Amino acid sequence: KQEVTQIPAALSVPEGENLVLNCSFTDSAIYNLQWFRQDPGKGLTSLLLIQSSQREQTSGRLNASLDKSSGRSTLYIAASQPGDSATYLCAVPRRISGTYKYIFGTGTRLKVLA
Amino acid sequence: ETGVTQSPTHLIKTRGQQVTLRCSSQSGHNTVSWYQQALGQGPQFIFQYYREEENGRGNFPPRFSGLQFPNYSSELNVNALELDDSALYLCASSSFGKVGELFFGEGSRLTVL
C-alpha cells in the first residue's frame, strides 16, 4: 500500500529565504511524482511533474528532485515571495483498473512573510 | 488555468439531503476522477469515470455515486448526507491509461449542517 507523507506540516519564513519541502512515499515503484500548489479553498495547480527516470525538474524558482530508492522527493523554492504562500501537495499515481488514481500527502502549508 | 470547470462553487445542505456536483473535463481528456478533500487533509480518491462507467473506486460508501456523459462531463451524487461529508470536492481530468499530468478544477465546497 502506497502512503505519502509531507513534512513539515506548516512553515513560516521571511521573504527572500530559500526553502525545502519534503515528500516521502513508501513504495518506490512509482511512475512519476507531481507537486501541486493549492490556494485556500481553491483547486490544485500542477507545479512540476517529475518522471521516475528523472532526478530533477525545474520551473522558474522551483526545483523538484526525486530519489526513488530512498522514497523521497524535495521541492526547493528559491528566493521565496509572499505570493508563494499556499499549501504544497505531492502526489504519486497508483495503477487501478487499467488507469491511475493519485495518492496525496497532507501538504505543507507555507506562509512567506513580507 | 486548466479547462476543468466545476459547479456549484459553494453549497450548503442539511443532514439527510442529497447533492449533485458537476464537472466539465478539459478538451481532449476522456477520464474524470473525483476527490474529496477534508479541511487540512490531502485529497482522497472517490472514483473515476471512463466510457460512461465507473472505473475504480476508493474507500467510499455506495451513497457516493456518479455519472459520465458522452461529452465526458461528469456528475458526483451523494445521498443521505452526513456531517462528515463536508469537504471540498475536486474533479480531475485526464486521458485514460496515461500516467501523465492531472488537471484539477477549482472544486465545490460542500457544507453539511
Per-residue pLDDT, B97: 79
Report the pLDDT averaged over residues B72-86: 97
Closest CA to B110 of B42, B4, B10: B10
Helices (H) then strands (E): counts for chain B: 0, 11
CA nearest A88: which of A97, A96, A77?
Answer: A77
Tell me the per-residue pLDDT of B91-104, one tens digit each, with 9 for 90 and over.
Answer: 999 888 777 778 99
3-state secondary structure of A19: strand
Q: Say what the pLDDT of residue B79 is.
A: 97
Number of inter-chain CB pairs under 8 A, A vs B: 78
Predicted local distance difference test score (pLDDT) of residue B1 = 58
Would you state the cell numbers that stand for residue B15, as one nine-digit string?
443532514
Determine the distance in angstroms separating the CA of B113 from the nearest CA of chain A, rounded to an integer. 19
| Parallel, antiparallel or unpaired: strands B10-13 and B108-112 | parallel
Cβ separation B42–A89 shorter than 8 A: yes
Query: Are residues B103 and A46, on separate chains, in Cβ contact within 8 Å?
Result: yes
Contact list in B for residue A43 (CB cut-off 8 A) is 2, 4, 6, 90, 104-107
Q: Which of A:50-89 have CB within 8 Å of B?
A: 89
pLDDT by residue (tens digit) across A100-110? 899 999 999 99
Which tens digit of pLDDT belongs to each residue from A45-61? 999 999 999 999 999 99
Locate the chain A residue with the closest alpha carbon to B58. A101
Give yes or no for residue A11 having a pLDDT over 90.
yes
Dist. CA A65–CA A18, nearest whole Å: 15
Pairing of strands B19-24, B74-78: antiparallel
Asked if the C-beta of A40 comes within 8 angstroms of chain B's C-beta atoms, the answer is no
What is each CA distance from A63 to A20, A73, A108, in whole angstroms?
9, 10, 16
Distance from CA of A49 to the nearest CA of B (A): 7
CB contact under 8 A, B42 and A106: yes
Give residue-wise pLDDT tens across range B9-30: 999 999 999 999 999 998 888 9
What confidence score (pLDDT) does residue B85 get? 98
Instruction: Tell me what the mean pLDDT of segment B67-95 comes to.
Output: 96
Q: Are A57 and A8 in contact (CB under 8 A)?
A: no
CB A24 within 8 A of CB A4: yes
Kindly identify which residue of chain B lies nearest to residue A9, measuring between CA atoms: B40
Strand B44-50 to B31-37 pairing: antiparallel
Q: Give the other-Cβ count within 10 Å of A91's Cβ.
A: 25
